[in-house]
Structure 1
Amino acid sequence: MSLALTNYFPDSTSIPFIKARFAAFGFSVLMILASIAAFFSMGLNFGIDFTGGVTLEVRTEAEIDAARIDEMRGVLNNLGLGAIELQGLSELTEGSECYGNHCALIRVQPQEGEGLEAEVAQQEANLAVQAALTELYPDIEYRSVQVLGPKVSGELVQAGIMSIVTALVLMLVYIWFRFEWQYSVGAVVALIHDVIITIGMFSVTQLEFNLSTIAAILTIVGYSMNDTVVVYDRIREKIRKFKKKSLDEVLNLAINKTLSRTILTSLTTLVALFSLWLLGGAALQGFAFAMIFGIVVGTYSSIFVAAPILMLTNVKREASEA
């Protein structure tokens, strides 16, 4: 597929990417500030992985329409378990179990208590919800049930944060040894840029932020780093070859030489991700959407953030020749 698509791209372009670096930096700073503001003002819509509580995915033979959702909500609210959220689910694939609005997702807030008491309270809440729903709809099926106490969810939050921080640090070390410190600064700034803006997107959209989202962010970090390394490799090659050209000319030349590869890789990846988003069901939609957004942001940062930063760090030609 990539070989066929290559015929539609010119062998060499001459787009002045570096000339637009100040506009790109301004746009990136604006997006980062907006993401930080959204995070602190709106927060994240944490899933059960991080908050604890009970999540059930149920299915009934009859369609779960708005009236049935209201009926279920009324019964569950009488259980005195605190805030309960209900959301109808419908998979797009005809023949699937949820096709035609036959499924619903139910979330019950974490129950009060500490230690073993809290764990027991979550289990009792789960049993109470299932008993009430089974009495209301004898044909109801429980496709999945998750019960997490606050201790486990708190540990998952810490593990998620540590995994992202560890990935960024290891990427910094890799680039430092792979290239020079000027390159490592640009690569890590681009990665932090991608992570902050992706988290900001989750704050604005209030999509559920769970363990699959952490997996998506880590994948985005790896994808963006791979894109950046390809560009940096070509930059180092051109710096060695064209010693009399100015640095901005060399950077433009290197970016343009890798442009067709960058576009084709991103497009083919996005085709797979859009299929996953449309056909993968509710469980994979958050992961797929985060990946789609992250691929777009990562491609942008490789061209407009990571490469132009070398103008600010004043990468040395003699270092590139080492």
Structure 2
Amino acid sequence: MEFIRATHINFMGVRKVAYVLSLVLVAVSLGSIFFRGLNYGVDFAGGTLLQFRFGREVTTEELRSILGTFGLAKSVIQRFSPNEAVIRTTKLSQEDQSRLSALLEERLGSAELLRIEDVGPAVGADLRRMGIIALLVAIGGILVYVAFRFEFRPAVTSILALAHDGLTVLGVVSLLQREFTIPILAAVLTILGYSINDSIVVMDRIRENLLGKKRSEELEEIVNRSINEVLSRTINTALTTALPVFSLFFLGGKMLQDFALAILVGLAVGTYSSIFVVSALWVDWEKRSPHRR
């Protein structure tokens, strides 16, 4: 089903506006990452995560007050339901974990320990390093594939768009101080794959239309026509992908909300970049330094 038919939108006419918007997104994202930082989860920062179910409704303030008597007032507390919460602290020994459980049970009447996760600082640092390597390998592989599949210039503009998309997702995670965990890293890698797929569709249509272009047709006209021809496919793909992710966000519980949020932000910015960023960068590059064909 096509919701958008026979459009004639001048995308290249507003590419400078798109450049400004993209620069603002990247600048805000980088600023947040450098100044606020990423809120690394236990996977990357190391520490102890404990999930409790209590016999009655408890508040975050009540839990923090109890943790303060244990010297853990700065712990991260995430409520899953009125009587269920996750507490993320610095590394705790088994003895301290038992003492904390006993203290919570004493103060709150009932405290069932549902889950414990322990990650040492060395393991967390190693996971961060492996995560960075995974991102770099993914980007490098995409660059090689697109350069082989098309040309070097579309490959470079596609990688710039991927960096734009990935930084924006990380910027939102940093601004909202959501925990950066392995599922969030998986979401970023997923968005890179989604975004490059959209970019390849657009650039492939541009290549086809270049082969059959009219002598009087300008480069911007060819690119505009190409994007309009695949616009319905791009929007439909984004919408059909977003629908189940919205379900995860609203119905999947707290554990899946951050993952779903990262995917939704990535879908929005990835669709935007495949339409407004990739082809616009390529057009300006071609106009400044025409490539012989």
Q: Give the structure-1-normalised TM-score.
A: 0.85
Pick aligned residue for 2:164 from 169, 187, 193: 193
2:53 maps to 1:59? yes
> What pairs with 1:156-167 in structure 2 (closer than 5 Å)?
156-167=127-138
* Structure 2: segments with no counterpart, 5+ residues: none
Pick aligned residue for 2:206 from 228, 235, 238: 235
* 1:304 aligned partner: 276
* 1:206 aligned partner: 177
2:7 maps to 1:16? no
2:139 maps to 1:168? yes
2:260 maps to 1:260? no
In structure 1, C-alpha distance between the alignment counterparts of 2:118 and 2:99, rounded to whole Å: 13
Question: Is the CA contact 2:39–2:177 (under 8 Å) kept in the aligned structure 1?
Answer: yes
In structure 2, C-alpha distance between the alignment counterparts of 1:201 and 1:148, rounded to whole Å: 25
In structure 2, C-alpha distance between the alignment counterparts of 1:291 and 1:264, rounded to whole Å: 16
2:218 maps to 1:246? yes
Q: Give the CA deviation at 1:142.
A: 2.3
Amino acid in the other structure paired with 2:44: F
Q: Give the CA deviation at 1:268.
A: 0.9
* 1:96 aligned partner: none
Q: Deviations over 1:186-224 (max 9, x none)?
A: 100100111111111112111111111100000000000
Q: Give the CA deviation at 1:56.
A: 1.3
**Cα RMSD after superposing both structures:** 1.8
Q: Which moved more, 1:215-224 or 1:29-38?
A: 29-38
Amino acid in the other structure paired with 2:269: V
Pick aligned residue for 1:31 from 25, 30, 37: 25
Please state whether the residue corresponding to 2:227 is helix, strand or coil. Answer: helix
Q: Give the CA deviation at 1:76.
A: 2.5
**Percent of matched pairs sharing the same residue:** 39
Q: Deviations over 1:257-277 (max 9, x none)?
A: 000000111011111111000
Aligned CA distance change for structure 1 residues 22 and 122 (closer, same or farther; 3 Å): farther
Please state whether the residue corresponding to 1:55 is helix, strand or coil. Answer: strand
2:64 maps to 1:73? yes
* 2:83 aligned partner: 102
Please state whether the residue corresponding to 2:23 is helix, strand or coil. Answer: helix
Please state whether the residue corresponding to 1:308 is helix, strand or coil. Answer: helix
Instruction: Number of aligned residue pairs: give it.
Output: 290
Please state whether the residue corresponding to 1:58 is helix, strand or coil. Answer: strand
Please state whether the residue corresponding to 1:15 is helix, strand or coil. Answer: coil
* Structure 1: segments with no counterpart, 5+ residues: 91-100, 111-120
